[in-house]
Structure formats: structure tokens, C-alpha cells
Amino acid sequence: MSYQRVLLKLSGEALMGDLGYGIDPKIVADIAQEIAQVVNSGVQTAIVVGGGNIFRGMKASAAGMDRATADYIGMIATVMNAMTLQDALERIEIPTRVQTAIAMQEVAEPYIRRRAIRHLEKGRVVIFGAGSGNPFFTTDTTAALRAAEIDAEAIFKATKVDGVYDSDPKENPNAHRYQSLTYNHVLANELKVMDSTAIALCKENEIPIVVFNLLENGNITRALKGEPVGTVVGGHYEVN
């Protein structure tokens, strides 16, 4: 299956590579090259990027910081990542716009749904920063929300593993990797695909989720072109 409009969800941790903190420019450049191949093939591409390589709101909250304040700081971290990815894409001549849910007019556009769709129609990559603009929501939920708003055909969640397993493959060598799952199975078994709010949003709007390994060269291109990569979650699939 090939796609016309998709949303790519990148974790902040993906941008730091083997570093313990921050951003690895080579990793970002490699990701940009793969996204460029997808864009140049005609697929309209939106991106939601996390901020965990810089600041994790839930972790800070657990250490005593006010949860809302911690989440807002995390949202600002996602904008830093979005701008970094925008720079990498534009250095290879891929037109890119960053839209933020918190106003930062000197560095990014405000999030406006119709403007985002228009950018996509013109072949520009749109990176959504600052999460949903509200505390207590993850960037996974933001990805589901934005995908529904822009009528994306699928969400592609790039991770450090090659799909969804029934248990941790690092601890259990016999862990089973699923090829396909239903939303209900993910929710009932609390599988670590996305948080439950994000899964429920995808279920309600019938948006499939593809979980795949970001670290394998060429996987972004293969996944977004519709090749079978990783695990797919959706209402019309079987648990396999």
C-alpha cells in the first residue's frame, strides 16, 4: 500500500543517537535524508517530534516539580528538536515549516490546521512542535490528534525496536513480535505502542499505526512508501 499523506512520530531520544543527552547532528542529518526521499516520491509528510532527549516532564514531575510546569518545559524542548530537524531538511532543499501549539512567532508559525494542510499540499514538510499546547498530554496523543486533524492516512511511529512485542525482547529472548494488532488488543493488554489516549483517538478516527525500527537504514523510506515494516495496528487487522 502506498500513502499520499502521513504523519511520522519521532521520539526525542531518537535524535540523540548514542549520546546521553541532546542532539546528534549526524543522526538528524540521516533522518532528514530519509524523509527527503519520501517527500521527493510525492508523499505529503507531517512530523511530530518528542523532547525526551532534552527534558522529560513526567520524570521531572515525579521528582517533585509541578506537573503542568514540567510539561510546558517539555513542550519547549520539542520546539528545539523541531527547529533542528527543520534546519537539517532545508539544508538538503526540502521546504519545511514548523508550527507550534504555543505561540513563538519569532521562530515558528502558530498551529493553524488549514495552513498546515495547505503547506502539505504544496509539498512542504510540516513539523508540529510544542505538543498539543496543553499539559498532561503526551506527544503520542499529539501525533494522533494532528493526524486526525490533517486527515493523515496513517501514523508511523519510529522507535528503537522493530515492532511491538508481547514482552520485552531484551529480557525475554522468546518474546513474540506481532505483525498486526487490533486497537482493542493493544488497549486490553496495555502493550507499549502509544499511550491509551492516543490509541483511543486512532481507533475513533480509524487511523492505523505502524511501529518500526528507526535505526535500520532505509526503514523510514520503506515504511512510508507502504512496504511491510514493523507492526501495524488498526481496526481491520487481526492479532498476528
Helices (H) and strands (E) in the chain, counts: 8, 11
Q: Does 146 belong to an annotated binding site?
A: no
The dihedral sign for the CA sequence 150, 155, 159, 164: positive
Q: Does 197 belong to an annotated binding site?
A: no
Q: Does 134 belong to an annotated binding site?
A: yes
Q: Does 10 belong to an annotated binding site?
A: yes
Q: Does 128 belong to an annotated binding site?
A: no
Q: Does 67 belong to an annotated binding site?
A: no
Q: Does 230 belong to an annotated binding site?
A: no
The dihedral sign for the CA sequence 21, 23, 25, 30: positive
Q: Alpha helices of the chain — where are they, by DSSP H?
A: 25-40, 57-62, 67-91, 113-121, 139-149, 183-188, 196-205, 219-224
Q: Does 138 belong to an annotated binding site?
A: yes
Q: Does 140 belong to an annotated binding site?
A: no
- Do the Cβ atoms of 209 and 234 come closer than 8 Å? yes
The dihedral sign for the CA sequence 55, 59, 61, 63: negative
Q: Does 163 belong to an annotated binding site?
A: no
Q: Does 78 belong to an annotated binding site?
A: no
Q: Does 12 belong to an annotated binding site?
A: yes
Q: Does 17 belong to an annotated binding site?
A: no
Q: Does 55 belong to an annotated binding site?
A: no
Q: Does 61 belong to an annotated binding site?
A: no
Distance CA 30, CA 234 (A): 29
Q: Which residues does the annotation place in the binding site for ATP?
A: 9-12, 52, 56, 159, 165, 168
Q: Which residues does the annotation place in the binding site for UMP?
A: 51, 71, 132-139
Q: Which residues does the annotation place in the binding site?
A: 9-12, 51-52, 56, 71, 132-139, 159, 165, 168
